[in-house]
């Protein structure tokens, strides 16, 4: 079976995206998905996304990690699939779609995708890190000399030793100046560092607000793959009106035989 696919990237976080509105893709074939994502024997990607039909909103986003297992919400993937839906003519400059964590709204303006994330009520502040769920679980930890930090070694250790089998994504953060922070992320499912993580930078922004490291309701975060903006409203009970903003780019299209 020939599989038409599109390669996308959002600040270096890359995905294989497939139009599966006809339902032909073998989405229970974990080995096939993992092979498509393999960087040496496949197309190569941090994850795979299926765009599927939905009776009540514009489409459904179904996300799989690079290991072939269905994953939790992916922020950069969400921005990329919105771009893809626009490319297919399903939407124009705004949309509502369904993901594993519920309904999301998004807009497109001059190539920038603004994706509304879920509200966050629970933020756990520990002595040297913060934990919260922004559609995916995230550990946020401030470090020094991030450029030379061993993200894969330390991220893998934290992912497994603190969070067990289910694991957590792990974000290491360093202040550049008062309102500018750099982020590097170890992603579960990929089991390696990725150039960017959308739910990760969202978690970092809220963690910095929760610990009073920032005093504004918007922040630009520098990832290895580019800059992302996070906007939010801090309330007594948590965080609402959380938006992840940044570019999404179609790299190429092809056919898997």
State the catalytic residue, choosing from 32, 51, 73, 74: 74
Q: What angle do CA 38, 163, 168 make, to 5 degrees?
A: 45
Q: Read off the pLDDT band of 179 (50, 70, 90).
A: confident
Same domain, yes or no, for 109 and 137?
no
Q: What value does the mean pLDDT take over residues 33-47?
A: 97
Judged against a pLDDT cut of 80, whether residue 178 lies above it is answered with: no
Judged against a pLDDT cut of 90, whether residue 40 lies above it is answered with: yes
Three-state secondary structure string covering 133-152: ECCCEEEEEECCCHHHCCHH
CB 223 within 8 A of CB 195: yes
Quick check: is 197 catalytic?
A: yes
pLDDT given for residue 180 in this prediction:
86
In angstroms, rounded to a whole number, what is the distance separating the alpha carbons of residues 82 and 100?
Answer: 15
By the 10 Å C-beta count (0-12 exposed, 13-18 middle, 19+ buried), 252 is classed as exposed
Summarised one tens digit per residue, pLDDT across range 52-108 is 999 999 999 999 999 999 999 999 999 999 999 999 999 999 999 999 999 999 999
Quick check: is 37 catalytic?
A: no
**Pairing status of strand 180-187 against strand 218-223:** parallel
Summarised one tens digit per residue, pLDDT across range 74-88 is 999 999 999 999 999
pLDDT given for residue 214 in this prediction:
93
Same domain, yes or no, for 129 and 164?
yes
Judged against a pLDDT cut of 90, whether residue 109 lies above it is answered with: yes
pLDDT given for residue 166 in this prediction:
86
Same domain, yes or no, for 66 and 81?
yes
Same domain, yes or no, for 13 and 96?
yes
Percent of all residues in the chain with a pLDDT value above 90, rounded to a whole number:
95
Q: How far is CA 229 from the centre of its chain?
A: 13
Q: What is the mean pLDDT of the chain?
A: 96
Same domain, yes or no, for 127 and 111?
no
Same domain, yes or no, for 183 and 239?
yes
Q: What value does the mean pLDDT take over residues 138-146?
A: 96
What is the residue range of 41's domain?
Answer: 3-116+248-256
pLDDT given for residue 60 in this prediction:
98
Alpha-helix runs per DSSP H in 162-253: 198-210
pLDDT given for residue 164 in this prediction:
87
Same domain, yes or no, for 100 and 140?
no
Same domain, yes or no, for 70 and 184?
no
Same domain, yes or no, for 61 and 137?
no
Q: Read off the pLDDT band of 208 (50, 70, 90).
A: very high
Cβ neighbours of residue 203 closer than 8 Å, sequence gap 6 or more = 132, 133, 134, 138, 140, 169, 171
Pick from 99, 3, 92, 119: nearest CA to 51: 99
Task: Look at the chain and report how many structural domains it folds into.
Answer: 2
Percent of all residues in the chain with a pLDDT value above 70, rounded to a whole number:
100
Same domain, yes or no, for 145 and 229?
yes
pLDDT given for residue 165 in this prediction:
84
State the catalytic residue, choosing from 51, 85, 197, 209: 197
Same domain, yes or no, for 139 and 184?
yes
Judged against a pLDDT cut of 90, whether residue 177 lies above it is answered with: no
Q: What value does the mean pLDDT take over residues 162-184?
A: 91
What phi and psi values does residue 168 have, to the nearest 5 degrees? -150, 150
Matching residue, tokens 């966050």: 120
Same domain, yes or no, for 71 and 84?
yes
pTM for the structure as a whole: 0.95
**What's the CATH number where 189 sits?**
3.10.310.10
């Amino acid at each position: 079976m020939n599989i038409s696919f599109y390669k996308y990237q959002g600040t270096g976080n890359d995905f294989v995206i497939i139009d599966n509105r006809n339902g032909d893709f073998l989405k229970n074939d974990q080995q096939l998905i993992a092979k498509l994502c393999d960087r040496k024997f496949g197309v190569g990607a941090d994850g795979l996304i299926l765009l599927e039909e939905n009776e009540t909103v514009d489409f459904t986003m179904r996300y799989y990690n690079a290991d072939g297992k269905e994953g939790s919400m992916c922020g950069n993937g969400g921005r990329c699939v919105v771009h893809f839906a626009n490319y297919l003519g399903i939407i124009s400059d705004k949309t509502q779609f369904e993901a594993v964590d519920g309904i999301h709204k998004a807009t497109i303006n001059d190539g920038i995708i603004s994706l509304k994330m879920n509200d966050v009520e629970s933020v756990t502040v520990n002595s040297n890190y913060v934990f919260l769920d922004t559609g995916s679980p995230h550990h946020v930890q401030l470090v020094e000399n991030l450029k030379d930090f061993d993200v894969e070694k330390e991220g893998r250790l934290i992912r497994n030793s603190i969070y067990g089998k289910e694991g957590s994504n792990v974000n290491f953060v360093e202040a550049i100046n008062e309102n500018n922070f750099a982020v590097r992320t170890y992603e579960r499912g990929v089991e390696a560092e990725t150039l960017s993580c959308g739910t990760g930078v969202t978690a970092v922004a809220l963690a910095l607000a929760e610990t009073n490291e920032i005093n504004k309701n918007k922040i630009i975060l520098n990832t290895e793959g580019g800059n992302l903006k996070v906007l939010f409203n801090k309330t007594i009970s948590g965080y609402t009106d959380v938006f992840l903003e940044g570019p999404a780019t179609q790299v190429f299209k092809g056919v898997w035989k």
